[in-house]
Amino acid sequence: MLEKIKNNFNTQTWVLIPIAIGINIAVGQIVLVLKLPVFLDSIGTVMVAALCGPWAGALTGALSNIIWGVAIDPGALPWWPVAAMIGYMAGRMAQWGFFKSWWKVVVTGFVVALTAAIVSTPIAVYLFGGITASGSSFITAYLLQTGQGIWSAVVSTSFLTEPVDKITTAMIAFAIIQGLPKRTIGGYPKASQVEAEGGASKNQLYIAVGVVVLLVLFAAFMLRNILGG
């Protein structure tokens, strides 16, 4: 086990992790301020997970929320187990070959979303009473007003928002990786996991960007309907 953990880390991993943490916190804070019904605070985590492995991804996710919570927003701190599991599961999916084409990345995002929903629900209910600082709480509040119980409302919100968020996150990470020079990617421990199938990295990049745009538009439409009542 120790050897499996160690092979996730080399010099390039340790250089990438702080960059990834910065991406997570910067994008996550912007989304939080805008009250969007997504999070997008795991883009860096998924990048590390795919390029370096599940343990490096888990460490990146955990450190992101711990640093974010201590330095900027205390509300981010309790979510570090969720962030760690996102990184771990994204790394496992990449290990199983699900980071080589756009449609496989969609599957990765969906599996990561289910993982995040399962881990985050008890935290949302017991620590925050179902209402957090994120924009997705608009949905939870609406469902509570319709008479749903807190567990039902939180679970429903998670299964509505998490797939959009995590698929978008995975696709953005995939697009960034496909846009990097091959000589840069080659130095990471798990570089072979992100090689585009058929070598069509540019086509995969364009498709990934297109899917991201569609998902963002869908999230905006969903938020507009909720706020519009």
Please give the span between the terminal C-alpha atoms of the chain, in angstroms, as a whole number: 51
pTM of the model: 0.87
pLDDT tens-digit map of 163-221: 889 998 999 999 899 888 888 899 999 999 998 776 555 666 667 667 677 766 666 66
- Whether the pLDDT of residue 44 is over 80: the answer is yes
Closest CA to 38 of 206, 157, 186, 199: 157
Tens of pLDDT, residue by residue over 101-117, are: 888 999 999 999 999 99
Q: What is the pLDDT of residue 136?
A: 66
DSSP the chain: -HHHHHTT--HHHHHHHHHHHHHHHHHHHHHHHHT-S-----HHHHHHHHHH-HHHHHHHHHHHHHHHHHHT-GGGGGGHHHHHHHHHHHHHHHHTTTTSSHHHHHHHHHHHHHHHHHHHHHHHHHHHTT--SSTTHHHHHHHHHTT--HHHHHHHHHHHHHHHHHHHHHHHHHHHHHHS-HHHHTTSTTGGGGPPGGG-HHHHHHHHHHHHHHHHHHHHHHHHHHHT-
As a whole number, the mean pLDDT across the chain is 86
Residue type, 180: L
**Structural domain for 53, as ranges:** 2-227
Within a 10 A sphere around the Cβ of 29, how many other Cβ atoms?
15
More confident residue, 63 or 139: 63
> What residues contact residue 152 under an 8 Å CB cut-off, 6+ apart?
143
Total of domains in the chain: 1
Q: Which residues of 200-211 are buried (b: 16+ CB within 10 A; e: fewer)?
A: ebeebbebbbeb
The CATH number assigned to the domain holding 138 equals 1.10.1760.20
